[in-house]
């Protein structure tokens, strides 16, 4: 899975950890979600958090971006304790990452262009003309037609809404892009297109991507490294090839079920074609 190095990320920064999750445990009442989870995301990679339903993937993501606070342990995001995000609105850190929520979370009372413009309006002194240009560029970058800009979220299809949410997440040129289940509920062709789009944007804008997913196809296709969560812990962490060789029974059942095998075959087939 070699991708060309992103523009702008000079090589000395390549191994700089952008996210450090150390010894995080989370409990809701008596339910234990995470137990001593630790992982590191380095600059410029596509890092995926995988695992079955209810294994705490989305909770971990919400903790990293400061929407939830872990019970114990610390999370450092771009060198800052992510707990600070919870209590400080509009800190400069908020401009350095973008989040695409699972269902888009587009503001339904605004048009697509207004949705994408929200961070620019709130965080920059740019003029309306410049904001319009930047928004138009981002809408074009995610592959939406120009006339979709004046549409409301309720007038867009599911796939278009996902793209619009992505445009909003990248509008500030963030260093870090979080994707929560980016391909869930999309048909395989559109999902593959979305994966390519993410890879393309990552290359063009020098993004580090953290995504939560259980789409095996997209894990094979775009993830540089994958952390498999299960039973509240990190069961395995590494490239897909390494995880596929793992002996852990849970990981084996996850990757070697019928869908996992199909995704693997698909992927290696594609790889051969490329060679």
Partner 1 sequence: MKRGQPMANQQQPAGVTWLEGRTLRCWGAWTMPDVAPVERALRGMVWPARSVLVFEASGIEAFDTGGAVVLYRALMEARRQGCEVSIEGLRSDYAQLMSLVSSNWAAMVAEVAPRSNGSERLKTAIGNHLVRMIRGLEFLGESATALVRLVAAPRRMRWRSCLNSLRLDGVNALPITGLLTFLIGVVIAYQGAEQLRKFGTNIFIVDLVGISLLREIAPLIAAILIAGRSGSAYAAQIGTMKVTEELDALQTFGLSPIELLVLPRVLALVVALPLLTAYADVLGVFGGMLIASNQLNVSFSAFLSRFEEAVALRHMLIGLGKAPFFAVIIALVGCYQGFQIRGGVDDVGRHTTISVVQSIFLVIIFDAICSILLNWWSL
DSSP state of 55: S
Taking alpha carbons only, the member of 185, 265, 274, 175 closest to residue 217 is 265
Q: Specify the 3-state DSSP secondary structure of 19.
A: strand
Per CB under 8 A, the segment of 56-64, 140-148, 191-199, 231-239 that binds partner 1 is: 140-148
Q: How far apart are CA 250 and CA 255, in angstroms?
A: 9
Q: Specify the 3-state DSSP secondary structure of 231.
A: coil
Per CB under 8 A, the segment of 82-90, 131-139, 215-223, 225-233 that binds partner 1 is: 131-139
72 in contact with partner 1 (CB under 8 A): no
- In the list 42, 190, 197, 205, the residue contacting partner 1 (rule: CB under 8 A) is 205
- In the list 3, 10, 67, 262, the residue contacting partner 1 (rule: CB under 8 A) is 10
127 in contact with partner 1 (CB under 8 A): yes
Q: How far apart are CA 60 and CA 73, in angstroms?
A: 12
- Going residue by residue from 16 to 45, which x/- string records binding to partner 1, judged by CB under 8 A? x-----------------------------
78 in contact with partner 1 (CB under 8 A): yes
Per CB under 8 A, the segment of 55-63, 200-208, 227-235, 246-254 that binds partner 1 is: 200-208
CB of 5 closer than 8 Å to CB of 11: yes
141 in contact with partner 1 (CB under 8 A): yes
- In the list 25, 40, 58, 173, the residue contacting partner 1 (rule: CB under 8 A) is 173
Between the CA of residue 60 and those of 39, 88, 176, 265, what are the distances in Å? 11, 20, 16, 30
Between the CA of residue 55 and those of 68, 92, 212, what are the distances in Å? 16, 31, 11
136 in contact with partner 1 (CB under 8 A): yes
CB of 153 closer than 8 Å to CB of 104: yes
89 in contact with partner 1 (CB under 8 A): no
Q: How far apart are CA 168 and CA 71, in angstroms?
A: 31
Phi and psi of 183, rounded to 5°?
Answer: -110, 5
CA 39 centroid distance within chain: 15
13 in contact with partner 1 (CB under 8 A): yes
- In the list 19, 55, 134, 209, the residue contacting partner 1 (rule: CB under 8 A) is 134
Q: How far apart are CB 38 and partner 1 at their closest, in Å?
A: 22
Q: How far apart are CA 255 and CA 34, in angstroms?
A: 22
Q: Give the nearer residue to partner 1 in terms of CB position, either 184 or 205.
A: 205
Q: How far apart are CB 23 and partner 1 at their closest, in Å?
A: 25
Q: How far apart are CB 153 and partner 1 at their closest, in Å?
A: 7
Q: How far apart are CA 165 and CA 162, in angstroms?
A: 5
Contact residues for partner 1, defined by CB under 8 A: 7-10, 13, 16, 78-79, 95, 108-109, 120, 123-127, 129-130, 133-134, 136-141, 145-147, 149-150, 152-154, 172-173, 175, 204-206
């Amino acid at each position: 899975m070699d991708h060309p190095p992103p523009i702008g990320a000079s090589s000395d920064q390549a191994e700089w950890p952008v996210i450090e999750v150390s010894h995080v445990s989370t409990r809701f009442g008596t339910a234990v979600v995470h137990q001593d989870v630790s992982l590191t995301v380095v600059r410029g990679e596509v890092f995926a958090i995988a695992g079955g339903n209810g294994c705490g993937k989305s909770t971990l993501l919400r903790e990293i971006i400061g929407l939830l606070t872990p019970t114990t342990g610390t999370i450092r995001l771009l060198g800052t304790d992510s707990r600070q995000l919870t209590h400080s609105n509009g800190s400069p850190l908020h401009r350095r990452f973008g989040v695409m929520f699972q269902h888009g979370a587009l503001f339904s009372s605004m048009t697509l262009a207004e949705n994408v413009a929200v961070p620019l309006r709130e965080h920059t002194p740019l003029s309306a003309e410049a904001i319009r240009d930047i928004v138009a560029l981002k809408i074009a970058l995610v592959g939406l037609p120009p006339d979709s800009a004046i549409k409301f979220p309720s007038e867009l299809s599911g796939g278009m809404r996902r793209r619009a949410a992505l445009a909003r997440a990248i509008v500030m040129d963030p260093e870090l892009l979080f994707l929560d289940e980016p391909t869930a509920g999309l048909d395989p062709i559109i999902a593959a297109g979305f994966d390519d789009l993410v890879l393309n944007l990552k290359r063009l804008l020098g993004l580090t991507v953290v995504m939560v997913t259980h789409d095996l196809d997209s894990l094979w296709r775009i993830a540089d490294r994958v952390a498999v969560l299960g039973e509240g812990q990190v069961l395995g962490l590494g490239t897909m090839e390494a995880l596929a060789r793992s002996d852990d029974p849970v990981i084996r059942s996850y990757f070697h079920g019928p869908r996992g095998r199909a995704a693997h075959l698909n992927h290696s087939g594609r790889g051969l074609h490329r060679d």
